[in-house]
Amino acid sequence: MAKARPIPGLEASTRFGDAAAAAVETRTREVFGHAAGVLDTGDVERVHDMRVATRRLRSALEIFAPCFPRKPYKRALGDVKALADALGARRDPDVALERLDEIRDGFHAADGAGVESLAAELRDEQAVGNERLSAALKAVREGDLESRLIVLAEEARR
């Protein structure tokens, strides 16, 4: 899992609004820095990294909520939540499949058919999750979420 990027210039005496701007800028760059290749089910770490980064961004938005103008904040937070939900819909079956693979390795061979039948169901769910994530990423691009978040962060400096 990718470590969180350090947020530059934070001190206890930093103005709360300036800390909000720095945190949301850093976390936004982090999310979109992980966007490449997330639809590749052969490399499940990518979607995991983007999901964790999205959670951190959402958390930063919520912590610093009073620093942002209400309307664009609500819209951006809603879009970040929607992206997080879509990442979760893909990531949850990824995690369950990884776990089942580990379990199956330790089980008796005669247990394999049962575990595999559950895994097959999870792979179908993973494919559905990937389609949902693809649509969510398209919505994020078309809605220019990254730019809106950067502008929102800048507002907190005023």
Closer CB to other proteins, 18 or 134, in the complex: 18
Q: Which long-range contacts (CB under 8 A, 24 or more apart) does 4-11 make?
A: 4/30, 4/53, 4/56, 5/29, 5/30
Q: What is the token pair recorded at 138?
A: 């398209």
Q: Does 10 bind other proteins (CB under 8 A)?
A: yes
Closest CA to 47 of 56, 38, 36: 38
Taking CB under 8 A as the criterion, the residue among 1, 13, 42, 105 binding other proteins is 13
Stated length of the chain: 158
Q: Does 62 bind other proteins (CB under 8 A)?
A: yes
Taking CB under 8 A as the criterion, the residue among 2, 17, 29, 75 binding other proteins is 17
Q: Does 150 bind other proteins (CB under 8 A)?
A: no
Q: Does 115 bind other proteins (CB under 8 A)?
A: yes
H or E, element range at 70 = helix 70-106
Size of the site for other proteins (CB under 8 A): 47
The DSSP 8-state label assigned to residue 111 in this structure reads G
Q: Are 39 and 134 within 8 A, CB to CB?
A: yes
Taking CB under 8 A as the criterion, the residue among 1, 102, 117, 142 binding other proteins is 117
Applying CB under 8 A, the residues found at the interface with other proteins are 4, 6-7, 10-17, 19-20, 23, 55-56, 59-60, 62-70, 73-74, 92, 95-96, 99, 103, 107-108, 110-118, 121, 156
